[in-house]
Structure 1
Amino acid sequence: MAQITVQWRPGGYVDLLCKYHVFIDGSKVGRIGRVEMLTISVDHGSHQVQLKLDWGTSPTVTVDLATDQTRQLYCEPGANTLTALYYAMFRHQQYIKLTPTYLRRSSAVADVPDARTHMISGRLIFSWTVPAAPDRPVSGVVSMG
């Protein structure tokens, strides 16, 4: 089975105590809170993912999955503390940002085991894990852009 993972990106104070409702193909499949992650098993093929809150939603994101493929989506409030009321009243369909990540192996990180680059909202994210000791791996993340 394929999987869709939705993860709330940390940061900010908007929706600090809220949980977003996760919908796949129009059916509610769970809720996600601040800095939480939700993984849903789905059949391979095309799926529509949307997040909702009482006063706002995210745009619908289409995810195409092959068998045994996992696609990760990041969510975060589309507004900040100064614009939250405006978004709730006038831009409620963009109140929540839902951004798919596109994992790819880069030749620049070919020498680092388990290294990946991610493109999120126009930012290049480089992450890696290397074994420092058998029981304690060292991980890191660098954001550019």
Structure 2
Amino acid sequence: MFITLPAGEVREQPESAVTSDLLFDSTGAKLTDQARITIDRITHYRDTVRAYQVKIDGQVVGRIKDGKQATFEVSPGTHQVRVRLMWLQSPSVEVHLEEGAGVTLRTGPNGGILQAWRIYFAPHTAMFLEEGS
């Protein structure tokens, strides 16, 4: 079935009604120019049932479970990355990313039962976060 509109009813779209604004996020950065931070959590018997919080530039952006990997899209530039579990946290890692670039970081608990003292006496070192391969 076809519907024919009278010639007077045809409306042209103004040039400002372009759908290319879908390529931008809420901050105005182009989504196609985003950078990626991938965090790979190793499998380890310590903290197995708990998910780590992932913080980028002080904001919680997600969680990562034991043996899993998560990727977060960020704007190009320098970012501070850290993982946290309750009062424990990794040292902060600074990454600098260009447009479309990505970096992979590895994380997990620092040591096994012999390193448990870190939980109480050095909670900022109880987890590691480092650039992976």
User: What TM-score do the two structures reach when normalised by structure 1?
Assistant: 0.66
Report the equivalent of 1:142: none
Matched, 1:17 2:17: no
Identity %: 33
Per-residue CA deviation, residues 11-53 of structure 1 (Å, 9 max, x unaligned), is: x311111111000000000000101111000000000000011
Residue pairs, 1:1-145, within 5 angstroms = 1-10=34-43, 12-84=44-116, 86-101=117-132, 118=133
| Higher strand fraction (1 or 2) | 1
Alpha-carbon shift at residue 83 of structure 1 (Å): 2.4
Once residues 66 and 42 of structure 2 are traced to their aligned partners in structure 1, the CA distance between those partners, rounded to angstroms, is: 8
Letter in 2 for 1:16: T
Root-mean-square deviation (Å)? 1.0
Where does the alignment leave 5 or more consecutive residues of structure 1 unmatched?
102-117, 119-145
User: Under a length normalisation based on structure 2, what TM-score does the superposition of the two structures give?
Assistant: 0.72
Distance in 1 of aligned mates of 2:74 and 2:109: 25
Kindly state the Cα deviation for residue 76 of structure 1 after the two structures are TM-superposed. Answer: 1.0
- Between the two proteins, the alignment pairs up a number of residues equal to 100
Between the aligned partners of 1:81 and 1:13, the Cα distance in structure 2 is 10
Structure number with higher relative contact order (C-alpha < 8 Å, ≥ 6 residues apart)? 2
Deviations 1:50-69 (A, max 9, x none): 00111310000000000000
Please identify runs of 4+ aligned residues in structure 1 that moved more than 3 A.
none
Structure 2: give runs of 5+ residues left out of the alignment: 1-33
